Structure formats: C-alpha cells, structure tokens
Amino acid sequence: MSLLDAIRASPDALDHLLWHGDFDPTLTYEHVEEVVLASGAPLERVAKDGAGGTFFLCGEGGEERPVLYADSEGGAALLAVGVPELVQLLLVLPWWRDCRRLTAEESAEAAEEHLEMAEESLERELDLPAERDAVAAALGLEVPSEAEALARLREVAFGLGPSFVLLNAEEGCAYEPLFRA
C-alpha cells in the first residue's frame, strides 16, 4: 500500500493531516489553472489544501518523486523529495507556509500561532507532539526534529527547487517562488 493510500485509510492520520497540515489527499480536483513544469516533465495532482493550493508529484515514478506545492495566487515551491519526506514535513512543520525565509525564528512564531488557533478552534488543549508521534508511528515514519525538517526544506527548496519551475500553461508565465533566501 502506498503512503497516500495508508493516510486515506487511517482516520487518525487523515484527520491530523487535514487539520494541522492542511493536506487533503482525498481531494485531487483541478488546480485553479492549468500548469506545467518548464522542463516538460509530467505533473500528478495528489492533494489539495483548503485555500485552493495543490500538491503535485513531479516526473515519472511513484511516491519517491519530488513534491511541488502551488498555491492559488501564483506561488510555488518544491517541498520534498518523496511523499514520506513531505508527510514528515507536514507533521513537524505544519506552519511551513508562514516561514517565507525558512528561519528558526519564523518557525517558532508560526508554531505558537498555529497551536493557539488550533486550541481556540477545538476549544481544548492539544498535545500536538503526542498526536503527531502517534500518526507518524501508524504510518511507519520517523519524526525529524523541527531544525532537521526546516534544514531539509531549505535544502530542497533552494537546492533542487530552481530545477522545478511551474508555468501557467496558457500564458507561459512562471509561478513566483514561495521562499526567499
């Protein structure tokens, strides 16, 4: 069974990733506009977020392919090399969208805001690390530290990311990078 199938089959994992990671692998409707990679490599939609963004696998193969995220406003970034790495990122840094420069300071601020908003929305105190660890164990994934996840995101986004330029298929304009060095 693929990791995406395992997530879809696990109510706890799916709920956690939907709520905290804003990652819905049950919705694969069209992106807000037709997009292509500048390299001509294929794109496969694998999940959506609540704001109209789309997670794509790039190239040929299975879940080991690079994962690109495109928001609904014309921004994109390579987030991970493979679905397991993406899920680890979403488990450890579900607030990655708020870390435009990928710094530890941004991550700490975003984490605090994320937890406060989640607790207010659920009207209960959360033990997010325990919940995250249980989901990771159920999916057979290790949980990297926040620093490791942030460093890997930086490495992928700035190292490999420039090779994965997303274009509006109709107009040919490139999506803007979501992260700034």
* Domain extent listing, the chain: 3-177
Residue type, 84: P
The structure's pTM equals: 0.89
- Is beta strand 176-177 parallel, antiparallel or unpaired with respect to 75-81? parallel
Low-confidence residues of the chain: pLDDT under 70:
28, 104, 107-108, 110-112, 114-126
**Cα-based distances in Å from 125 to 115, 117, 137:** 9, 11, 22
| Euclidean distance between CA atoms 98 and 101, whole angstroms | 9
| Euclidean distance between CA atoms 126 and 144, whole angstroms | 20
pLDDT at 27: 80
pLDDT at 100: 76
pLDDT at 158: 94
pLDDT at 105: 78
| Euclidean distance between CA atoms 41 and 56, whole angstroms | 12
Note the helical H segments in the chain: 3-9, 11-19, 83-92, 104-122, 128-139, 146-155
| Token code pair at residue 129 | 């690390």
- Contact (Cβ atoms closer than 8 angstroms) between residue 33 and residue 168: yes
pLDDT in tens, 98-134: 777 777 677 667 666 755 655 554 555 567 788 999 9
| Euclidean distance between CA atoms 80 and 137, whole angstroms | 20
